[in-house]
């Protein structure tokens, strides 16, 4: 059974940093693309970042480019999102998701339950 468990969310001040983790199990983590997406309170879904399987090519939404970094540790079956220079508009529930193949752009077939990030002073 595929399982994705996010952690690392919490309250952070504007300008601060946070690192999210996503522990994966139930599939061969290294060969699949992975993504982070978010949903701000009362808003729709927004794709944040993706990373391909194997080679690990990375991609970002314009809204987070230069501030967020996606990475993966295939030896630990874990996906990460390093978030720097956080802004109030980054407040959201952050989801990690697995893609249907190695491409970072493939459909997202399994999602975690999400972790809440709140950026406020």
The contact set with another protein (CB under 8 A) reads 35, 37, 39, 44-47, 50, 59-62, 95, 97, 100, 104-114
Cβ-based nearer residue to another protein, 108 or 119: 108
Q: What angle do CA 89, 93, 97 make, to 5 degrees?
A: 120
Cβ at position 91, least distance to another protein in Å: 17
Residue closer to another protein by CB (options 18, 50) is 50
Range 56-59 contact pairs with CB under 8 angstroms and sequence separation of 24 or more: 57/104, 58/104, 59/104, 59/105
Closest contact distance (angstroms) between CB of 72 and another protein is 17
Residue listed under structure tokens 């999602």: 111
Least spacing, CB of residue 17 vs another protein, in Å: 22
Q: How far apart are CA 85 and CA 96, in angstroms?
A: 20
87 or 100: CB nearest another protein: 100
Instruction: Retrieve residue 5's tokens.
Output: 């468990």
CA distances from 28 to 34, 43, 76, 106 (A): 12, 33, 11, 16
Between 37 and 79, whose beta carbon lies closer to another protein?
Answer: 37
Minimum CB–partner distance for residue 95 and another protein (Å): 6
């Amino acid at each position: 059974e595929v399982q994705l468990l996010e952690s690392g969310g919490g309250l952070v001040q504007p300008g601060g940093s946070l690192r999210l983790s996503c522990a994966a199990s139930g599939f061969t983590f290294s060969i699949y693309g992975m993504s982070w997406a978010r949903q701000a309170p009362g808003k729709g879904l927004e794709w944040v970042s993706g990373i391909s399987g194997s080679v690990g090519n990375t991609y970002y939404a314009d809204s987070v480019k230069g501030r967020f970094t996606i990475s993966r540790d295939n030896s630990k079956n874990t996906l990460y999102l390093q978030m720097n220079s956080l802004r109030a508009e980054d407040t959201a529930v952050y989801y990690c998701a697995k893609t249907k193949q190695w491409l970072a752009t493939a459909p997202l077939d399994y999602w975690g339950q999400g972790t809440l990030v709140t950026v406020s002073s």
